[in-house]
Amino acid sequence: MSKIIDGKKLKEEIIDSLKKEVKHFMIKPCLAVIQIGDDPASNTYIKAKAKACDEIGIYFKHIKFTEETKEIEVINKIIELNNDEYVHGILLQLPLPDGFNADKLINYIARNKDVDGLTDINLGKLYNNKPCLISCTPQGIMKLLEHENIDLEGKNVTIVGRSNLVGKPLIGLMLNKNATVTVCHSKTENLSKHTKNADVLVVAVGKKEFIKENMVKEDAVVIDVGINKEDNKLYGDVDFNKVKTKVKKITPVPGGVGPMTVAMLMTNVINAYQKQQKKSV
């Protein structure tokens, strides 16, 4: 089996399966993406989401506000989308420009349409191991590990990074699989002591090639969530070329976790759609 975990291939399999599923739906599912401002990275991510929707047969609604928009206008739009039975998933594209409260706005999204899994209700359900919509990147990581037949029970899992988008939801998902979880962050002392102890190491810090070969143990599984752009080239948070010779399995950047985030978003839209259709029958 290959050392390199191919997220792109798995994403294509998932998209293909969803495409077949959507063909049988009476009503087309709809994803609404709200964007505030004109962040270049956000524009790229939104294009990727629109492309995946188009491929599967999901109606894509892009709502764009300027940075001068009042927060109340965005709130009113979210409430309108919550009440629209033909919109099945709502996503607020992050990061937001200065002056907007992301946490406040996200929590206006109806939990059954929160396809990013970021509302307090969905995060609380995740930690209590109850059915909910789960944050896309952590869910994608779990899907990759499952696909590679990596058993997490009793394993030492070290997560470097504690963001609301990746680190925090991942703690809950790993605990639900009975892993022994260590969380490291900017205030962690002697980081390499923790990373060297990891059977599974997940890195999401946003620093180019931050994790070196001497910071991982042999035969570990390394999941690199970082996307760092330099001279028009993408780098992960892990020194890929050196680390890959030492570990059992590793995700590349690009082509690892990134594609899975989009695949899981599409999965969440379909799941949200199906639950809403059942309720309306």
CA distance 269 to 274: 9
CB atoms within 10 A of CB 205: 20
Of the listed 49, 61, 125, 249, which one is catalytic? 49
167 Cβ neighbours under 8 A, 6+ residues apart: 159, 161, 183, 185, 204
228 Cβ neighbours under 8 A, 6+ residues apart: 206, 207, 208, 234, 235, 236, 237
Of the listed 61, 77, 93, 155, which one is catalytic? 93
Of the listed 35, 61, 113, 116, which one is catalytic? 116
Residue 116 annotated as catalytic:
yes
CA distance 28 to 36: 26
Residue 6 annotated as catalytic:
no
Residue 49 annotated as catalytic:
yes
What distances in angstroms separate CA 244 from CA 4, 45, 94, 214, 239, one per listed residue?
Answer: 8, 27, 31, 12, 8
Length of the chain: 281
CB atoms within 10 A of CB 122: 23
Exposed, middle or buried by CB within 10 Å (0-12, 13-18, 19+), for 153? exposed
Q: Which residues are catalytic?
A: 49, 93, 116
